[in-house]
Amino acid sequence: MSKTDGTAQYYFHQGTNFSSFDYLGCQESREGEKYVYRFRTWAPNADFVGLVSDFIGWDMPYEMHKISEKGVWECEYRSDISLFGNAYKFMIRRGDKTVLKGDPYAKFSRGGADGASLIYKDNYKWSDKAWLTWRKKSIRLDKCGYLNTPINIYEMHFSSFIRHGQDNSYYTYREMADILPSYLKYMGYTHVEFLPLTEYPYDGSWGYQVCGFFAPTSRFGTPEDLKHLIDKLHNAGIGVIMDWVPAHFPKDEWGLYEFDGGPLYEYQGIDRQNSRSWGTRFFDLGREEVQSFLISSAIYFLREFHIDGLRVDAVASMIYLDYDKEPGEWIPNSDGGRENKEGIAFLQKLNAAIFKEFADVLMIAEESGSFAGITQPVSLGGLGFSLKWNMGWANDFYDYLSTDPYYRKYKHKALNFPIMYAFDENYVMPISHDEVVHGKLSLIDKMYGSYEDKFSQMRAAMLLMMSYPGKKLTFMGCEFAQFREWDYENSLEWFMLDYPNHRAMREYVAALNRFYLENPPMWSLDFDRAGFSWILADEADKNTVLFKRFDSIGNSLTFCINLSGEAQTMTFGGGARLERVFDTGNVGDGFKILYDEMTQNTELTVPSFSGVVLKEIKAKIKIKI
């Protein structure tokens, strides 16, 4: 073992080898005409580890040798020809139990029920230098506030976005590269966020039960094909975010589950080990080798695939010991509390490691609890994420929209209370996949009332979401008001665009997105109280809110959104003359704006289920010559 290998091994066991994918797994090199393959895996409790494969055979394992006291095993195989694409597994024996496991560090996998790892190496030539230069300049902290740039994310499940009509087969990464970049650009999105693309056996998990933490799923092509898609998106000016799942893993036999014949990657104690709801095992986040493994997985996709950000799934399950558990099923921490100190320390370590190498990527927390400091810097005691999903806003807002407008006055806090905590974290306003499935109804179908009313209310709701502080996320299909709930086994209902209301909704969302991108008051000070000011916050009887957004140099926009079933008139003072610059498309002749020069009061009438955006009319300066 070389000195370099020895250093990599030492830091792996210390929990600080964040490039452990260059040490473990299958490493290919050349010695003259020979191809040299060195296989390593971590199995500290194993009595025997051997390599089985296409090129050696699957019945007679090629013996591996234990090269570290803490359980790294290694073997070397020399070949006259390249073994690119050959399948292999590790045969692991502990006592009288023998298991066949895929390589946790495999760069490619057959996936499915078999899960054999594939020897893989590519030399993809990237062409996204201009994008990476822009990213380094724009995704940063500056004097105007954190992330002083528009972020409008299109959340997407790859296999159900679109399918081939004849046989319902998947689009490949390369086929998607021909259609997705232009669609997202036209629609006015800045980023696409893919539900997990790391290898997963079960389609019904939507990708959230991962077995291959370094292997893009083979369902849609090769790793090089995925790089091609990302490259095309970058060249279209679209950033790429990937859902990443460091909290848990499934119990598929070929995966991480009891990898060396007993619990290894998972917690040892039964109080922390299992997720009842997901049927999975929780990672032992306090174990150093697991920390090296997980942080290396994140670094690998950011470095090798030029991913622009990771949305970290199920953060609450990593920071609370009682997550998904009944009283008596969990053991308090050393202070008697419910916080998982090891999980918190891991997340801080993760974000510190990532931002040390990539100061210009996004780390986004999907955190359903009320843990304070999710987006606070690690140096100040926070978890160090860039952004956090505002799931509380989404739940309250959907409840409001499903309520008869006559009774909405009793739930008006859904409109004004979010501003009370809007600047406590760096929020993303999410209309996510979780909210349009499992009987929760599609976004359009959440709206109360008639068919026509649903469309009007959705337009107003989308304007409110896009105008409140925070970055934006919308799940696929919402943009054209698909009525059917999301179905992971089938394509979106693109045929709905043949119907005028659905086609018009997509064009409205595209126009709203473009208006958002072009107007800094809607995003420049998302995380600064100076960027928002109420004009009328408490008009509960009118189901209406009126407020202003500001950018960093004092420009402003005024928003009025009426979610009642009747036209509403609002009177407010102290401002300049205003003109309409955007509306929900259904205001018609019912919109009126009157300005009293003497009192500087404005009287604004907005029709039912509609919204308008107003801008100050700049006085013309006359110059006498």
Q: Give the mean model confidence (pLDDT) for residues 38-46.
A: 98
96 and 47 in one domain? yes
Known catalytic residues?
313, 366
pLDDT at 142 over 70: no
498 located within any domain: yes
pLDDT at 146 over 90: no
Q: Which helix (H) or strand (E) holds 475?
A: strand 471-475
- Contact (CB, 8 A) for 190 and 517: yes
> Which of these three, 118, 144, 174, is where a domain ends?
118
161 and 112 in one domain? no
pLDDT tens, 409-464?
Answer: 999 999 999 999 999 999 999 999 999 999 999 999 999 999 999 999 999 999 99
Contacts of 167 by beta carbon, 8 Å cutoff, 6+ apart: none
- What integer pLDDT is reported at residue 575 of this predicted model? 81
Minimum mean pLDDT range among 61-65, 187-191, 231-235, 378-382 = 378-382
Predicted TM-score of the model (pTM): 0.96
Question: Considering its fold, how many domains does the chain have in total?
Answer: 3
514 and 599 in one domain? no
Q: Report helix, strand or coil for 536.
A: strand
Q: Give the mean model confidence (pLDDT) for residues 62-82.
A: 97
pLDDT at 78 over 60: yes
Rg (CA), the chain: 27
515 and 535 in one domain? no
- What integer pLDDT is reported at residue 4 of this predicted model? 75
pLDDT tens, 341-355?
Answer: 999 999 999 999 999
Minimum mean pLDDT range among 35-44, 190-199, 439-448, 611-620 = 611-620
The CATH number for 317's domain is 3.20.20.80
CA distances for 187 relative to 464, 470, 620, angstroms: 18, 19, 35
pLDDT tens, 215-264?
Answer: 999 999 999 999 999 999 999 999 999 999 999 999 999 999 999 999 99
pLDDT at 145 over 80: no
- What integer pLDDT is reported at residue 115 of this predicted model? 95
Q: Report helix, strand or coil for 107.
A: coil
Residue 305 burial by Cβ neighbours in a 10 Å radius (0-12, 13-18, 19+): buried
Band (pLDDT 50/70/90 cuts) for residue 621 is: low
- Contact (CB, 8 A) for 67 and 76: no
pLDDT at 574 over 90: no
Question: Residue 476: which domain range?
Answer: 129-522
513 and 536 in one domain? no
Nearest to 295 by CA among 356, 381, 250: 356
CA dist., res. 490 & res. 162, Å (int): 8
User: Strand order in 592-596's β-sheet?
Assistant: 568-572, 601-606, 592-596
